[in-house]
Amino acid sequence: MNSLATLLHERSVIVCVGAGGVGKTTTAAALALEAANRGRRVCVVTIDPARRLSDAMGLGADAPLGNEPQRVDVAINGELWAVMLDTSTTFDALIRTYALSDEQANTILTNDFFRNIADSMSGAHEYMAMEKLYELHNDDRFDLVIVDTPPTSNAIDFLEAPDRVTDFLDHRLYKVLVAPTGSFARVVNFAAQSFLRVVARIVSASVVDDAIEFFATFDGMEEGFRGRAVAVHNLLIADTTSFVLVTVPRNDTIDDATVFVEKLAEANINVEALVVNRVHPHFGTNELSGLAQGPLAPFVTVLNESQRVAAGEQNVLETLTRTLTNGAVVNVPFLDTDVHDLEGLGRLSRWLTPT
C-alpha cells in the first residue's frame, strides 16, 4: 500500500477522480503544491471548464489560467504550474500536428462542420483532455502532471476517449467517408442519396456539404490519430500513473464512487489512494452520560451527536474501502475555513500527506 506522499514522489501522472462537489479540484491543487514543495516540477491541469482551480490557487482575474502552462509564483523547493483546458485550441493544435500539409490543416480548420465538432460535439472535450494530458506528460518542463477530471460520469468518458477514437477510425462508415473522391461520390450517388436529401431538408444542404468535405479532407491523418490514441491509453494503464479517488462520506457519493472503482477495475486500473473530505472527528467511546444533566450538558449533546454522525460515516465508508484492498485511505476533516489561496492549500496538504 502506497501513501499519497509516496505517489507524489514516485509517479509521473496522478489522476484525481470523483463526483462533483467533493473537493476534487482543491485536492488536486493541494497535492500539486505539496509535490512541488518536495522538489518536483509539477503541472496541475483542470478539465473542468469552471474556474475552481484558479479560485483554489488564489489566482485573480488579472492572471487567468489558459491552455498554456502558467507558472505559479510561490516560494517552494520545486516548481508549480497550472493549466485550464481549452478544447477548441487543443483540437486545432492536434489537427496541425497530424495534417500532411498546411493546406490540409487550413481546409479542415475553416470547415464549419469541424468547428461544430471542436466546440460542441459530445466527447470532444474529454478526448482533448486526454490529448492535453499526453502533451504535458511529454513536456520536459514537468516531471509530474496532476489531473483534475470532470465529475465521475464524464470522467468515464475521459478514460474511454482513446478507445472510442480507435473504434471510430476502424469503423466501416468512417472508411467509406474518407474514401477517394470518385469512390465516395459513387457511394453518395447510389447508397446514400435519399438519406442525404432528408438530412439536407432538416439541417440544410450546406451542412451536408461541409461534412462531406471534412471527411474527404481528413484522409491520410488517421494513422497519426490512431497512434496517439494508443499512446494515451498506454499512459493511463502505465505503472507510473496513479488514480486517486476523492469523495465525501455520504451515501450517494459513496455509491457513485464504488461504481466508478468497479469500472476502473474492468479497465485494469486500480485506485491507489482514497481521499475522504469533510469527515466528522471521532473522539473515542468514553461514557459521558453522567455529564448530561450538568452545566456541560449542551456540549455533551453536541459531542454525542458528532460521535453518532462519525460512526454513521464510517459505516458508509466501509462499503467503498472494502473494494480498495491496496489503496491508502486519507480522511480530511471539516476545515475551519474554505480553501481559496495557496496558504489554504498548504494547510490541506498537511492533512493529505502527514509524513
State residue 203's pLDDT score: 46
**pTM exceeds 0.95:** no
Q: What is the pLDDT of residues 16-56, one digit of tens each?
A: 988 888 999 999 999 999 999 999 999 999 876 666 778 77
Query: Would 318 be classed as within a structural domain?
Result: yes
Residue with cell 460542441: 120
Cell for 221? 491523418
Query: Would 179 be classed as within a structural domain?
Result: no
Strand intervals (E) in 187-315 = 241-247, 271-279
SS3 content of the chain, % helix, strand, coil (to 5): 55, 15, 30
Query: Would 216 be classed as within a structural domain?
Result: no
Residue spans of the chain under pLDDT 50: 180-186, 188-191, 193, 195-196, 199, 202-203
Query: Would 107 be classed as within a structural domain?
Result: no
Query: Would 202 be classed as within a structural domain?
Result: no
318: containing domain: 4-98+124-161+229-352
Structural domain count of the chain: 1
Domain of residue 18, CATH code: 3.40.50.300
What's the Cα-to-Cα distance from 206 to each of 135, 192, 203, 216, rounded to whole Å? Answer: 35, 16, 8, 15
Query: Would 308 be classed as within a structural domain?
Result: yes
